[in-house]
Structure 1
Amino acid sequence: MFRNTNITKFTIVSFILFFQLFSSQTLGSRLDKNTLALGEVGTFTINISNLNGKAVQIAPKNELLPFHFEEIKDSISTTSEFYERTITFAVFEEGKYTIPAVNVKVGGEIYNTIPYEIEVINTAKKDDQISDIMNNKKVDLQFTDYWEMYKWYVLAGLAIIASIFAIIFIIKYAKKQKSSPKITTNLTLKELNALQKKKYIENNEFRSFYVEFIDITRNFIATQYHIPANVLLTDDLINLMKKTNSISPENEKALEDIFLRGDLVKFAKTFPDQAVMQQDFEIVKLFVQNSTKDLELDTLRNGV
């Protein structure tokens, strides 16, 4: 009876040891070369088996090896039972270096790999001479050779010059278009229509009406007839219009009355009614519309 009991205990202990042996984690590491040439690639591998789904904690990617080791690739492969990390690296300085023991935490337990020594050597010798396969040969280049080498630079330069000229032409053409009599006429008519929509006349806001109305008229004369109407005093402007003869006498007289009335309104010396404001508006609008005729007559007059 005593003998059978001992055999039973031995069997149980053996089973437990066997189970622990085959169920515990196994940590392994491997270095493919202990001696490397400068810049030669080496491989360091860490593997763990029998994980049983436990988490593995280790240094982050590209941060496992010491400073002198230039990590080229750091790849990790995992399953519920197996973990493998492979790092390819190179060292670019001669000497002896150590890959220290790496701490690996599996579940709640900590394991350590073994350290490795690596020697990095320079395989080139001081007396080694590097010679060309053949001596250098002088070659005379022709025009076509230079053209093949530099044609894209030349074409790019020509394209840039052409673009600059095109931009200058477009800017000048756009300015010319903007300053043409018809464009100026159309822009001023739009400003007059916008003024009319404000209903200053209907609401008897004569001062607001004449302030904006006179500004529009002065700016139009300055642009269309090249008379500095937007900076001159009223009396000076009237005298200059008469001297230039660019504007017809009928329009000069009508504009003179409107400018003088605008000054009186501005200084509260007169209070025009709706009919007067509407009449002044229509006179200027018609003057703007027919301004090209004045310019044509002035051109003919100067030509003669």
Structure 2
Amino acid sequence: MKMSLNRLSKPAVISILIFFTGFACSKSANTGSVAEPVTARATISKDKINIGDKVDFRLLIEAKGDIKQSPVDLSLYLQAFEIKDHIQKGPEKRWGKTVTEYRLVLTTFTTGNYEIPEISVKYTDKDSLEKEVKSNKIILVVEPVKSNPNDKDDIRDVKKPLTIPHSFWFWLFTVILPLIAIAAFFLVKYLKSGNVSKIMEKAEPARPPHETAYERLSKLKELKLVEEGKIREHYYILSEIIRGYLEARYELPVVERTTSEAYKEMLDSGKIKRKEVTIVKDFLEECDLVKFAKVIPESTKIEEDYGMGISIVDMTKVIPVIPELSTGGGAKV
């Protein structure tokens, strides 16, 4: 027996409509939303610090199933900060997931609002398809150091001038004897330099910077620091060799500069091609990651960086021009 919709009570009709509407929505939600197999979440220990303070940065990557994750180069996203420490945990299995965790200690000496951008995490799924997931953005506020409320801002009275004794012994020990010692030092140095100049009347010409660099790179290889596990020491010496070469080659203060300062110095000088400056900057940043961020590269990467140091010398060295000998007649008398 068929029941007409008009004969149903009003509450019954409303209940039937609510039931079918909820069923359709739940069905759509279950078929339309698919959880990502990889998630990336970035956090910091504090969202506001004073200039020079340290803040802990953490990137947590969780993957489900048969996923192959690519390494993440965090230095590309944290160029505004100085990395004080760097630790990587994993990938390891936790609660049925493959978890990789990066922990860094950051600091900066410039005030302002810093945005740590979305960090791209690339991976290959079980179907060998390359995919990408991004972390969340983070805002870090760096404020100047606030003054201590206990500090006194008023101007204090000027202290009375000190009275200096004028006895003979005072002048003898504070002025006369030091002057005699200084004069004797320079006199001995002058006499010694005179004897040396007599022995070495003709000084040897200075070696080209690239020859010195090649010799030092060869000695670095002979030290076998990588085989002994002294990776950071290897990169420190490699960086110093290239910095010293560039300073001698172009007469630029590169050794005592940070990588960013050296990059600006080389770029502003106009002595080096922009492409070569970029290559040098990338090389020095790779060395800095090992020296300061405690990143341990693979053996193939270590060989590549050593070869890049040689390549920098190869492409920037001065090639001496040897004058052609005349094949004509003999010398005129």
For the aligned pair, the TM-score class normalised by the smaller chain equals 0.3 to 0.5
- The structure with the largest helix share of the pair is 1
TM-score by length of 2: 0.34
Q: Specify the structure having the higher radius of gyration (Cα).
A: 1
